[in-house]
Amino acid sequence: HGKSIIHKNIKPQSIFINSTTEQIKLTDFGISSFFRSEGPGDSGIDMVEGSLAYSSPEQTGRMNRAIDYRSDLYSLGIVFYEMLTARLPFQAEDPLELVHSHIAKKPDPPQRVDVEIPQAVSKIILKLLSKAPEDRYQSTYGLKTDLELCQSELKSMNKIGDFEPGKDDRSPMFKVSHRIYGRDTEISALNESLNLADRGESVLALIAGNSGVGKTSLVREVHKSSVHRKGFYISGKFERLQQDIPYSGFIQAFQEIIDQILMESKDRVAIWKEKILNRIGPNGKIIVDVIPQMEHIIGQQKPAPRLPPSESANRFNTVFQNFVGVFCQKERPLIIFLDDLHWADSASLQLLRILVTSPDIRYL
């Protein structure tokens, strides 16, 4: 960190200890960055760098937060937790569930898992595992000071007394807050739209404003709420130079869902295959033609009969509507962020109107 390096992949396999010399080596710098911080992104689960079980909330790409050295401290907290309890703080086979845990769930205090763990040590680990970087240690110096205090008390008194961690902790650099100010009304309105979707409605929210006023940052705040709901959040962007490509923003967005599904177990992929084919019937090739990765889930499909242009467009809208309905679930509402909608082609706008107004689509 003193050399402005963010490791981004701290885990037990990255730490080597020479038991003879007691020398410690940190390895696996393959995805490290020579930056004080990295900007927040909207990456899908497949784009999470590092090992998901040890990733910080901001590393998942689901938070409106930059990645900085405090992300490494979170990962180190998971390593410490596992060292002392012989288990991970968050355990889930579903990647989405694991992301949700990192962002929204509080881990069981280590002392509750093993009563022999001192209260102070348990507090140190929980501080490292704070969801907000501001609540973690702000420097390795502060962490080192607390660990040395534990070591000193253990040597002198054969026990570690209770104390509040982080008293001598100081940030080594100036940090700008990533919290959004002055947009409470807009955030409240968007969250109310999410509440309506939770109750089974289809809701369209339009965000307008000049370039640079913070529209994307506003959406990222809602993105965090979607993770708390365990909902699917996908995003697509319409480009000025791609207006001749119908549905480009929608296709880009739903490629994210397909990539997420393909990361799941074979049994889970088989379940998704059944759900999708039940909704779209013999029209799978229509979806595969625009999202080729879909073939990895539903297999090869027979070509659809050729139709005149207008009838073909109507068929596509119907099939795609049924396809979207697969992911609009009561437990997991679907949130689609379409950026730069003003560059959307007419076919995409027509599809958007159908999705929002169709009585067959809920939880969207």
**Could you report the per-residue pLDDT of 89-124, keeping only the tens digit for each?**
998 877 878 888 898 889 999 999 999 999 999 999
Confirm if 72 and 31 have CB atoms less than 8 A apart: no
pLDDT at 43: 45
**In angstroms, rounded to a whole number, what is the distance separating the alpha carbons of residues 131 and 233?**
20
pLDDT at 176: 59
Confirm if 26 and 37 have CB atoms less than 8 A apart: no
DSSP string over 122-172: HHHHHHHT-SSGGGS-S-HHHHHHHHHHHHHHHHHHSS-----TTTT---S
Would you list the domain boundaries of the chain? 12-157, 184-357
DSSP string over 297-326: HH---PPPPP--HHHHHHHHHHHHHHHHHT
What separation in angstroms does the CA of 337 have from each of 34, 189, 222, 249, 256? Answer: 31, 16, 10, 9, 12
**In angstroms, rounded to a whole number, what is the distance separating the alpha carbons of residues 281 and 148?**
64
If we measure between CA atoms, which residue out of 250, 289, 295 comes closest to residue 273?
Answer: 295
Beta bridge mates, 266 = none
pLDDT at 44: 47
Residue type present at position 67: I
Confirm if 364 and 212 have CB atoms less than 8 A apart: no
**In angstroms, rounded to a whole number, what is the distance separating the alpha carbons of residues 252 and 234?**
9
Kindly report each contact of residues 261-266 with a partner whose C-beta sits within 8 Å and lies 24 or more positions away, as own/partner: 261/297, 262/46, 262/293, 262/296, 262/297, 263/45, 263/46, 263/95, 264/94, 264/95, 265/93
pLDDT in tens, the chain (364 residues): 888 889 999 999 999 999 999 999 999 988 888 765 565 544 444 445 558 899 999 888 777 677 889 999 999 999 999 999 999 999 887 787 888 889 888 999 999 999 999 999 999 999 999 998 989 999 899 999 999 999 999 999 999 999 999 988 877 665 556 667 778 888 888 888 888 988 889 999 999 888 777 787 788 777 766 666 666 788 899 998 888 888 999 999 999 889 888 877 788 889 999 999 999 999 999 999 999 989 999 999 999 899 998 899 999 999 999 999 999 988 778 999 999 999 999 999 999 999 999 998 999 9
**In angstroms, rounded to a whole number, what is the distance separating the alpha carbons of residues 335 and 222?**
10
What separation in angstroms does the CA of 277 have from each of 81, 272, 305? Answer: 43, 9, 18
CATH code reported for the domain at 12-157: 1.10.510.10
**In angstroms, rounded to a whole number, what is the distance separating the alpha carbons of residues 205 and 336?**
10
**Could you report the per-residue pLDDT of 282-306, keeping only the tens digit for each?**
999 999 999 998 999 999 999 989 9
The proportion of the chain whose per-residue pLDDT surpasses 70, expressed as a percent, equals 91
